[in-house]
Chain A
Amino acid sequence: TQLLEQSPQFLSIQEGENLTVYCNSSSVFSSLQWYRQEPGEGPVLLVTVVTGGEVKKLKRLTFQFGDARKDSSLHITAAQPGDTGLYLCAGAFSGGSNYKLTFGKGTLLTVNP
């Protein structure tokens, strides 16, 4: 069974602070996606990374894909209350079924004003 470890599970910070969420596996990903989910809604895609070492930026969010394509991180700079939500990483593993996404447990982020 291919597992995807996501940490931390819970994060409560003050507005303006920086934070990093990690996503790790012992297996190689063919691609990895980060989603954000708000209460009562389904996950919404933030970014997809495919190439080892890739870095993508989305406003104050920076996504990195490890060189070996086994890990990824999401860094938020100067967090704002609007960033509050559940952040999920989801990967498709190399050699496996590319249509099957494996999810981490998620990181519940609370940004306090």
Chain B
Amino acid sequence: EAGVTQFPSHSVIEKGQTVTLRCDPISGHDNLYWYRRVMGKEIKFLLHFVKESKQDESGMPNNRFLAERTGGTYSTLKVQPAELEDSGVYLCASSQLVFWGNTEAFFGQGTRLTVV
């Protein structure tokens, strides 16, 4: 069975450009999460989807970030326009359940975004 897949693995864009990251969760996982790790900092929660609905987007930095999950399958995270401080590794995870006591998050390999 395929794991969580993220595209692209790396992206280098100029400040002001737009970038769209994609995440394909494990089939059947209703819960999809986006996290981000900025250099030198801890991995931070961005948002959580249950199927196609945004359960919690409290971690989204600002309105330059837009996440979608049409049809409850894959998800995209668009950054428009990108700023230098958006650089980091964007991790996507999926899980069957939401209670971490009896489920696990399966993470993708991440997308390393560099804004120059």
Per-residue CB contact flags for chain A residues 21-62 toward chain B (1 = under 8 Å, else 0) read: 000000000110101000011111100101000000000000
Number of interface residues of A (CB under 8 A): 26
User: In the bound complex, what is the Cα–Cα distance between A30 and B35 (angstroms)?
Assistant: 20
Given contact pairs A42-B110, A43-B107, A45-B104, A103 touches B42 in the complex (Cβ within 8 A): yes
A51 and chain B: residue at smallest CB distance: B101
Chain A contacts to B: CB under 8 angstroms? 4, 30-31, 33, 35, 40-45, 48, 50, 88, 90, 92, 97-106
Chain B contacts to A: CB under 8 angstroms? 4, 9, 31, 33, 35, 41-45, 48, 55-56, 59, 91, 93, 98-102, 104-110
Given contacts A41-B109, A101-B45, 5 further A-B contacts (CB under 8 A): A31-B99, A40-B9, A50-B102, A99-B55, A100-B45
